Amino acid sequence: MSKKPLNIGLVGYGFMGRTHTNGYKRVADFFPELGITPVLKAVCGRSEDKTKAFSEQWGYESYETDFEKLIARDDIDAIDICTPNDTHAPISIAAAKAGKMILCEKPISRTTPEGEEMVAAVEQAGVANTVWYNYRRLPAVTLAKQIIDSGKLGKIFHYRANFLQDWTINADLPQGGAGLWRLDAAAAGSGVTGDLLAHCIDTAIWLNGGISDVTAMTETFIKERMHTGTGKVEKVGIDDACAFMCHFENGSLGLFESTRYARGHKALYTFEINGADASLRWDLHDLNRLEMYDHSDEGPQRGWKSIHVTDGEHPYMDHWWVPGLIIGYEHSFVHQVADFLKALEEGKPCEPTFKSALETAKVCDAVLESGKSRQWVNV
Ligand code: SOE
């Protein structure tokens, strides 16, 4: 059966350029039922040498060094944005005006107003859009969503999440440039709040509903760093660490912490949700497992159980190996591509859309504002 091609124009060839491209390359083999298939048409980056090398290594048919030229091409259907956060708005808005579909890396934008312009652009153009909050698509996290939606947990009292890293403790690390743009407030918008807590907030809203108000504490431990762009030592404008408390609209209480200064932790994303009847917890370092405590289990046998989310009946798993065999981080991106293509076929939105992802941006902005004012802030 011949499939309908979806011609991809990827902007950015860094870490996310690789994860997304891997998703496009794997999806047809593992989701053969899809009638649309991605085609690696072109990759775009500012450095010609690096862009050309990436296109050859990963199998793109061509490359561009100017995103406007990429967007203007008639043979491109969808623009995938894998560049630093300050470029998400201009690329998305130009792509929407040209009628292209858009898949944008998280967070949607540096700020809520910037995100609002992006939402207006895609809605006016009527183009398909999504933001890559990939952790939703890990089978254990999707299973948590199914269990919560079934009502099994009863009334929810608590939601807590952490995202801990340790890669910026070295004061000699510069701000700006490849990878390190995450330390430059002008490029990133914020530090751990937009980079890491955004993941936790996206998952939390998806699992537990909207957040109404927040109170936060933020800290910048290293106040000055060499700026790669200017060659000068400059003030650091990002939050290195952030912790916040919040109320969810369903009446439950939230507690979130993120830092790049938790020595020993590389990407420890964990969440736990406690209801009157059951609790769930998940840990990215053991991503195939979902832990559950069910109070309706018989008394003496009651306790936390660990569900190995690798059976054919578990979300996405019938597309992979045989029961009991694990999958990894990269599969979440394959799943996001599969879900985007399926949504296109069905004429439905692929969550989180720009509009839904704006909710996460609003919580991030409220958290940053509260970190400055030391007051509760409504979202
Ligand atoms: C930062 O180190 C980072 O790469 C984030 O930018 C990603 O979104 C996260 O998934 C892993 O950590």
- Atom number, ligand 1, closest to the C-alpha of residue 167: 2
178 in helix, strand or coil? coil
Best mutation site among 82, 182, 195 for ligand 1 pocket (most ligand atoms within 8 Å of CB): 195
Diameter of the chain by CA atoms? 67
Of the candidates 57, 64, 13, 25, which has an alpha carbon nearest to the alpha carbon of residue 42?
A: 64
Kindly report the protein residue whose alpha carbon is nearest to atom 8 of ligand 1: 195
- Atom number, ligand 1, closest to the C-alpha of residue 15: 4
Within 13 A of 128's CA, how many CA atoms are on the CB side?
21
Domain ranges of the chain: 4-135, 137-378
Q: Residue 278: count other Cβ atoms within 10 Å of its Cβ.
A: 18
* Strand pairing category for 268-275 and 224-226: unpaired
- pLDDT of 118 reads 98
180 CB near ligand 1 (under 6 Å) = no
Quickly state the pLDDT bin for 195 (edges 50, 70, 90).
very high
Kindly list the distances between the CA atom of residue 247 and the CA atoms of 89, 194, 204, 368, in Å, as whole numbers in the listed order: 30, 19, 12, 16
267 CB near ligand 1 (under 6 Å) = yes
Mean pLDDT across the stretch 315-319? Answer: 98
Kindly report the protein residue whose alpha carbon is nearest to atom 9 of ligand 1: 196
Cα 133 to ligand 1 centre (Å)? 11
What totals of helices (H) and strands (E) does the chain contain, helices first?
Answer: 11, 17
Best mutation site among 18, 182, 196 for ligand 1 pocket (most ligand atoms within 8 Å of CB): 196
Mean pLDDT across the stretch 251-276? Answer: 98
Beta bridge partners of 4: 36
Both tokens of 365, joined, read: 């902005």
Dist CA 31 CA 334 (whole Å): 9
- Atom number, ligand 1, closest to the C-alpha of residue 198: 8
Cα 196 to ligand 1 centre (Å)? 6
* Strand pairing category for 233-235 and 278-283: unpaired
Cβ proximity of 26 and 334 under 8 Å: yes
54 in helix, strand or coil? helix
Q: Give me the amino acid identity at 247.
A: H
Handedness of CA 166, 169, 173, 177 (dihedral sign): positive
- Atom number, ligand 1, closest to the C-alpha of residue 135: 10
Render pLDDT for 122-155 as a digit per residue (tens, 0 to 9): 999 999 999 999 999 999 999 999 999 999 999 9
Kindly report the protein residue whose alpha carbon is nearest to atom 6 of ligand 1: 195
Kindly report the protein residue whose alpha carbon is nearest to atom 11 of ligand 1: 267
* Strand pairing category for 253-259 and 241-248: antiparallel
Kindly report the protein residue whose alpha carbon is nearest to atom 10 of ligand 1: 196
Tally the residues of the chain: 379
Cα 297 to ligand 1 centre (Å)? 38
**Residue 47 confidence (pLDDT) above 90:** yes
202 CB near ligand 1 (under 6 Å) = no
* Strand pairing category for 129-132 and 304-308: unpaired
Cα 74 to ligand 1 centre (Å)? 33
Class of the 137-378 domain? alpha beta
Of the candidates 364, 58, 9, 46, which has an alpha carbon nearest to the alpha carbon of residue 218?
A: 364
Cβ proximity of 9 and 44 under 8 Å: yes
Class of the 4-135 domain? alpha beta
Render pLDDT for 327-374 as a digit per residue (tens, 0 to 9): 999 999 999 999 999 999 999 999 999 999 999 999 999 999 999 999
- pLDDT of 1 reads 61
Cα 192 to ligand 1 centre (Å)? 9
Asked if the bond preceding 107 is cis, omega within 30° of 0, the reply is: yes
Both tokens of 11, joined, read: 């902007």
195 CB near ligand 1 (under 6 Å) = yes
Mean pLDDT across the stretch 10-31? Answer: 98
Q: What is the DSSP string of 104-130?
A: EESSS-SSHHHHHHHHHHHHHHT--EE
- pLDDT of 179 reads 81
**Residue 33 confidence (pLDDT) above 70:** yes
Helix (H) or strand (E) run with residue 69 in it: helix 67-72
Of the candidates 5, 2, 3, 1, which has an alpha carbon nearest to the alpha carbon of residue 75?
A: 5
Cα 270 to ligand 1 centre (Å)? 14
* Mean pLDDT of all residues belonging to the chain: 98
Kindly report the protein residue whose alpha carbon is nearest to atom 5 of ligand 1: 195
80 CB near ligand 1 (under 6 Å) = no
Cα 42 to ligand 1 centre (Å)? 24
Residue written as token pair 């060499």: 226
